[in-house]
């Protein structure tokens, strides 16, 4: 017998018919002897509908007072879905009880619309589980020290589920969603992309651009920190498939030591089209120069990703970095108005049409020559690399956006990800 947390997204909860299916699936797990906690999202479209109503009355204001009320409103979506699921489970003859975040309680800070979970009291839930009930807890929300209802940010139910699983020391947290797992890359770009059986927390975080379509990335950070094995699996399989088959489907996101070494050196190819490159040319090369360029950028709350400084000639150097594409114009403006005059740089230039392509894999720690294989594959395709950055388990290159798909395909092939893995 294990303690298992299931999380169901909005699509799975999209109609009473689908909720009945969720209930049948959960009841199957409970009848197999597991203690079950379920964390559902609001019915699909419901959170948007609720926030849309608020927007009709207050189109743009973002005062703390308004944000408090937005959370008050948005949190009700999940309150409806937990109640419906409890009724459906009871209809299956399975004792069940639903709670909102504040009833558990799930304590958070007071950052309305993006609150962080601080503590979960597990007493009430444990008592219900001991009494043989399925416990259903609203995703996406909690309560602050002043008893204001808070929400965790869009997509926050994933984080709720993981946090509940961590608090209860659950054996596994299963995230049922409309994709059937994490892939070696986006199957829309590479037809041969394969579902990974396992991936480490660290790799999953590095693959954020692929992973964020599957899970709220904050939930993966949380799962890694509190060591909760997470499984992403399809909610479209028939509810009555054998439980052993279901329990081993999808992708298990887990500890590095449990990721089978059957896996290739590189686990996946991630990419990101949201960045833009900015260069300062002819910057006097002296101590403090990086700070005098990036200090004002940070102060303006602009996130910087890849950073490169060249060797200098005649006391001058070139300095390049990438920012989110939405911040491109603002960053150029800022550099021109305040950084150039202060540093005496000769010129600001930039390119918003770049992309970042990364190879990710814990195998990179113990293998040499992985990055050079990457560079060779890109060179074979005639793709020019503009910037390179590496970490222990990832190498990223910045290239012209128009070569993105070509690069992803070439790398997927070069690292043998097109081949089915041995199981």
Q: How many residues does the chain have?
A: 423
Q: Which of 14, 156, 224, 350 binds ligand ASP (CB under 6 A)?
A: 156
Choices 150-158, 256-264, 337-345, 410-418 (CB under 6 A): range interacting with ligand ASP: 150-158
Distance in Å, CB of 52 to ligand ASP, minimum: 12
Distance in Å, CB of 146 to ligand ASP, minimum: 23
Q: Is 101 in the site for ligand ASP (CB under 6 A)?
A: no
* Interior angle at CA 265, CA 261 and CA 268, nearest 5: 105
In the complex with Mg ion, the residue whose CB is nearer, 81 or 317, is: 81
Query: Which partner in ligand ASP, Mg ion, none is near 181 (CB below 5 to 8 A by kind)?
Result: none
Q: With CB under 5 A, what is the number of residues at the site for Mg ion?
A: 2
Q: Which of 154, 195, 316, 413 binds ligand ASP (CB under 6 A)?
A: 154
Query: Which partner in Mg ion, ligand ASP, none is near 139 (CB below 5 to 8 A by kind)?
Result: ligand ASP
State phi, psi for 91 to the nearest 5 degrees. -65, -25
Distance in Å, CB of 177 to ligand ASP, minimum: 10
Q: Is 155 in the site for ligand ASP (CB under 6 A)?
A: yes
Q: Is 181 in the site for Mg ion (CB under 5 A)?
A: no
Q: With CB under 6 A, what is the number of residues at the site for ligand ASP?
A: 11
Query: Which partner in ligand ASP, Mg ion, none is near 156 (CB below 5 to 8 A by kind)?
Result: ligand ASP
To the nearest 10 degrees (0 to 180), the angle between helices 76-91 and 16-31 is 60
In the complex with Mg ion, the residue whose CB is nearer, 140 or 328, is: 140
Q: Which of 139, 142, 268, 350 binds ligand ASP (CB under 6 A)?
A: 139
Distance in Å, CB of 142 to ligand ASP, minimum: 13
Distance in Å, CB of 316 to ligand ASP, minimum: 49
Separation of alpha carbons 269 and 75, rounded Å: 36
Distance in Å, CB of 151 to ligand ASP, minimum: 8
Contact (CB, 8 A) for 189 and 241? no
Choices 58-66, 114-122, 152-160, 396-404 (CB under 6 A): range interacting with ligand ASP: 152-160
Choices 120-128, 154-162, 279-287, 339-347 (CB under 6 A): range interacting with ligand ASP: 154-162
Separation of alpha carbons 389 and 393, rounded Å: 11
Binding residues among 131-170 for Mg ion as defined by CB under 5 A: 155
In the complex with ligand ASP, the residue whose CB is nearer, 121 or 178, is: 178
Host H or E run for residue 77: helix 76-91
Distance in Å, CB of 152 to ligand ASP, minimum: 8
Q: Is 9 in the site for Mg ion (CB under 5 A)?
A: yes
Distance in Å, CB of 134 to Mg ion, minimum: 21
Distance in Å, CB of 9 to Mg ion, minimum: 5
Binding residues among 253-282 for ligand ASP as defined by CB under 6 A: none
Per-residue exposure over 78-94, b if at least 16 CB sit within 10 Å of its own CB, e if not:
bbbbbebbbebbeebeb
Separation of alpha carbons 384 and 422, rounded Å: 34
Does a cis peptide bond (omega within 30 degrees of 0) precede residue 278?
no
Distance in Å, CB of 236 to ligand ASP, minimum: 17
Binding residues among 220-259 for ligand ASP as defined by CB under 6 A: none
Query: Which partner in Mg ion, ligand ASP, none is near 154 (CB below 5 to 8 A by kind)?
Result: ligand ASP
Sheet architecture: strand order including 172-177: 96-99, 134-137, 35-40, 3-8, 172-177, 230-234, 251-254, 198-200
Instruction: Give start and end residues of each alpha helix (H) in 146-268.
Output: 157-167, 201-206, 208-211, 217-226, 243-247
Site string for ligand ASP, 6-35 (x = CB under 6 A): ----x-------------------------
* Interior angle at CA 215, CA 267 and CA 242, nearest 5: 85
Residue written as tokens 């946090």?
A: 163
Residue 223 has which token pair?
């799962």
Per-residue exposure over 396-419, b if at least 16 CB sit within 10 Å of its own CB, e if not:
bbbbebebbbbbbbbbbebbebee
Separation of alpha carbons 127 and 137, rounded Å: 14
Separation of alpha carbons 8 and 239, rounded Å: 13
Per-residue exposure over 14-47, b if at least 16 CB sit within 10 Å of its own CB, e if not:
beeebbbbbbbbbbbbbeeebbbbbbbbbbbebb
Binding residues among 38-97 for ligand ASP as defined by CB under 6 A: 41-42, 47, 77
Separation of alpha carbons 30 and 28, rounded Å: 6
Q: List contacts with ligand ASP (CB under 6 A).
A: 10, 41-42, 47, 77, 139-140, 154-157
């Amino acid at each position: 017998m294990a303690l298992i947390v299931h999380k169901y997204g909005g699509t799975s909860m999209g109609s009473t018919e689908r909720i009945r299916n969720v209930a049948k699936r959960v009841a199957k797990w409970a009848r197999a002897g597991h203690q079950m906690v379920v964390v559902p999202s609001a019915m699909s479209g419901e959170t948007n509908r609720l926030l849309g109503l608020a927007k009709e009355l207050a189109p743009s204001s973002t005062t703390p007072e308004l944000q408090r009320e937005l959370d008050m409103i948005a949190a009700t979506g999940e309150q409806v879905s937990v109640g419906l699921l409890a009724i459906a489970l009871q209809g299956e003859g399975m004792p069940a009880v639903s709670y909102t975040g504040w009833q558990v309680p799930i304590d958070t800070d007071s950052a309305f619309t993006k609150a962080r979970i601080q503590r979960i009291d597990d007493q009430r839930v444990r008592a219900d589980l001991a009494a043989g009930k399925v416990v259903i807890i609203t995703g996406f929300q909690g309560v602050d020290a002043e008893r204001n209802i808070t929400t965790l940010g869009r997509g926050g139910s994933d984080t709720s589920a993981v946090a509940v699983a961590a608090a209860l020391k659950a054996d596994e947290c299963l995230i049922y969603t409309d994709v059937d797992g994490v892939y070696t890359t986006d199957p829309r770009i590479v037809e041969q992309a394969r579902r990974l059986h396992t991936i480490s927390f660290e790799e999953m975080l590095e693959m954020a651009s692929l992973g964020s379509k599957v899970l709220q990335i904050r939930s993966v950070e949380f799962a890694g920190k509190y060591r909760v094995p997470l499984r992403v699996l399809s909610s479209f399989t028939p509810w009555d498939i054998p439980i052993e088959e279901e329990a081993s489907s999808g992708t298990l996101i887990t500890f590095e030591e449990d990721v089978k070494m059957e896996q290739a050196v590189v686990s996946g190819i991630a990419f990101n089209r949201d960045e833009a490159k900015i260069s300062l040319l002819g910057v006097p090369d002296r101590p403090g120069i990086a700070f005098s360029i990036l200090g004002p950028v940070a102060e303006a709350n602009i996130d910087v990703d890849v950073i490169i400084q060249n060797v200098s000639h005649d006391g001058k150097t070139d300095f390049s970095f990438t920012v989110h594409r939405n911040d491109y114009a603002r960053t150029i403006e800022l550099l021109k108005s305040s950084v150039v005059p202060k540093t005496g740089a000769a010129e600001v230039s930039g390119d918003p049409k770049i992309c970042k392509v990364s190879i990710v894999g814990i195998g990179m720690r113990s293998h040499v020559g992985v990055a050079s294989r990457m560079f060779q594959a890109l060179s074979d395709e005639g793709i020019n690399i503009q910037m390179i950055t590496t970490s222990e388990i990832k190498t990223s290159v910045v290239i012209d956006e128009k070569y993105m798909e070509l690069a992803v395909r070439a790398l997927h092939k070069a690292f043998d990800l097109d081949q089915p893995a041995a199981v």
